[in-house]
A and B are shown apart, each in its own frame.
Chain A
């Protein structure tokens, strides 16, 4: 099952993860002024929260990582001349 965690100490309470999440997985703890995971079941693993977090404190486990073309070393070597 998908797991999502926020490293509490690192969270600065900027709410960017809350704004970017399309399925409202996060909640904001007003007392602590930090984001918390509220509905992990809704997470589609788009990883937008992890990418946008300025402190890089959001991590996901047991998800499907899409393979990106730029990770293909053979392809990158061939494209080098155009870059």
Chain B
């Protein structure tokens, strides 16, 4: 138990350091910081998902991403979301792309950012977004995008779109 607590403390301190670093980087690099971190996250996601099972089914692919996250000790739980009255989780948007809403609750990025009052939607959020879409693109072989629809204090709502 002591070992777990020690590891958790180390992780928390590292995350807070990362948050401070990211906030500083945004000031220096401006908007370019977001694309840099997203690219880094995407490369990592592709690397981690290289051995994952390939599928064309979006729901199965999301489950595979979940497995990739767990296998690499990334505690980034998410749930599927659909509005009241909506029949299926997967819908088609006006650009004829498949889309699905995801809710992220326990997010180490958000927890780290709030520690020193850094804003959300920044470069660290983009890094995790990049990680997710990098993994999903490898699994599905299609162009995907994960957009932050709402960054809340206790949960974030994101919309995942996949080109058909």
A-side residues, CB < 8 A to B, are 22-24, 39, 41-42, 44-48, 51, 63-70, 72, 74-75, 78-79
11 contacts between A and B (CB under 8 A): A23-B83, A23-B157, A42-B83, A44-B152, A46-B152, A46-B153, A47-B155, A65-B154, A66-B155, A69-B16, A75-B12
Asked whether B12 lies within 8 Å of A22 as measured between CB atoms, the reply is no
Question: Which residues of B have CB within 8 Å of A22?
Answer: 149-150, 152, 157
Question: Which residues of A have CB within 8 Å of B153?
Answer: 46-48, 51
A19: shortest Cβ distance to chain B, in Å? 11
B-side residues, CB < 8 A to A, are 9, 12-13, 15-16, 81, 83-84, 103, 105-107, 110-112, 114-115, 149-150, 152-157
Question: Which residues of B have CB within 8 Å of A65?
Answer: 154
Interface of B is mostly: mixed
Bound complex: CA A67 to CA B115 (Å): 11
Bound complex: CA A60 to CA B103 (Å): 17
Bound complex: CA A46 to CA B148 (Å): 13
Asked whether B154 lies within 8 Å of A45 as measured between CB atoms, the reply is yes
Given A69-B16, A75-B12, decide whether A45 and B155 contact each other with a Cβ distance below 8 A.
Answer: yes
Asked whether B114 lies within 8 Å of A44 as measured between CB atoms, the reply is no
- Besides A47-B155, A79-B13, 6 more A-B contacts (Cβ < 8 Å) are A39-B83, A45-B155, A47-B153, A64-B154, A65-B154, A72-B12
